[in-house]
Amino acid sequence: MFSSFSKLIVLAISALGANAAAGTLQQQTDNWGSNPTNVSFYYYKPTNVGASPALIVAMHYCTGTAQAYFSGTQYATLADEHGYIVIYPSAPDSGGCWDVHTNATLTHNGGGDSLAIANMVRYAIGNWNVDSSRVFMTGTSSGAMMTNVLAGAYPDLFKAGAAFAGVPYGCFAGDGLWNSQCAEGEITKTPQEWGDLARSGYPGYTGARPKLQLWHGTADTTLYYNNFNEAIKQWTNVLGYTQTPVATVENSPLSGWTRYTYGPSFQAISAEGVDHNIPVQENDVLAWFGITSATTTATTSIPSTITASVTATSTTTNAGATQAQWGQCGGIGWTGATACQSPYTCKSINDYYSQCL
C-alpha cells in the first residue's frame, strides 16, 4: 500500500541542515482539544520567546515525523533568534503521510488530521498567549499538501503559508491515501473550479484569506510540476489576482529559480531542474511571514550568495494616494500608493513587498 509513499522521502538527511536549536522538542500531552485521528502534538519554545509571540506550524513529509522536521529544518534555530514558537505535528498514519483526501479533513471543523492541527493552534493562542494575527503554516510534500488544505479549511486561523512541493487544495480528494492522477499532474481545472473547491472548505466564510507562497521543482516526478501550475490557478482565483504575475525575479532566491509575484498575498517560486527533494528556504519563508524584515538567501545545504536580476511590469507609483493599515506600499513592480495613512509607516518586508504597519 505504501510503495507509492516511499517516493515521498522528500528531504533526505543529506539534503537537510543539522538543527542547532538551543532547546529541545517538547510534546504536549494534556488535553488540547478534539483529536479524532490521534495526531501527535510537539512544539519548540525558545528561551527568549516573546510576550505575544508568532506561531509557525511546520509539517513534515511522508515517512517523516515531527522529530525529523525539527532536526532537519532551521525553523527552531531561527526561533532562538526571533522569539517565535514552532508547532511540529506528527502524522498518525503508519506511512507518515497526512490525511489530505477525506471530506472530514477538507472541511472546516469536519474532523481528520486538519482539525487536530487547528486545535493545536487554538490551544497555543489560548494558553501560550500567541498573537492570533501572526499564525503561519509551512510544510514539505505531504506537509505542503496539508498547508494547502489548511488554507482552504481554516483560513480564519492562518495569516500566511509556504508550501514546498505540494498539490492544490482538494486535488488528493478520494477514497484512498494516494491519488495517482493528482500526483502525476493529470488533474486540470479552470481557475474558477479550483477556487470554488478551495472555498468549499469553509462554506460561507467571508473573512481574510491567508497569503500563500508556493515552491516547486520543474523536475519533480513524485508530485509532478503541473500541480504547481494548477495551484497557481487555484490561489490566484481565491485571492482575486490574474494569472499574469505583476513581477518576475530570476535567480531568486537561488540560481535557476524564478519568483513570480501575483500580488501582495501570493507568490510562486519555480526551481528549474530541481526534483521532489526541494531544499527548504527557511529565511525566505520568515520574510514572507513578516517575522523578519527582509529576505536573505541562507538555506539548508545551499550556497547563499545569489545575484538576482529583476524584470518588473512597471516602477511608476501613484504618489498622490495613501494606503491604509496592512496595505501594500512598495516593492518590485508595485505601481500603487507608497505613502501610508497616519499613524502607519511603510515598512519593507522584502524586496518585492512593503506594507503599511
Read off the amino acid at residue 37: T
* Residue 89 and residue 59 in contact, taking contact as beta carbons nearer than 8 Å: yes
C-alpha cell of residue 23: 532547546
User: Known catalytic residue: 4?
Assistant: no
What is the Cα Rg of the chain in Å? Answer: 19
Close Cβ partners of 113 (under 8 Å, ≥ 6 residues apart): 37, 39, 89, 91, 92, 98, 99, 100, 105, 146
DSSP character string of 293-310:
SS----BTTB------EE
How far is C-alpha 107 from the chain's CA centre?
A: 19
Residues near 130 by beta carbon (within 8 Å), at least 6 away in sequence: 52, 53, 54, 55, 85, 121, 124
The DSSP output letter for 208 is: P
Cell of 161: 503559508
Quote the cell numbers at residue 138.
509551512
Of the residues 141, 252, 270, 354, which is catalytic? 141
What's the rounded Cα separation, in Å, for the pair 123 and 34? Answer: 11
User: Residues with Cβ < 8 Å from 343, sequence gap 6 or more?
Assistant: none
Q: Which residue is listed with cell 481554516?
A: 154
Active-site residue list: 141
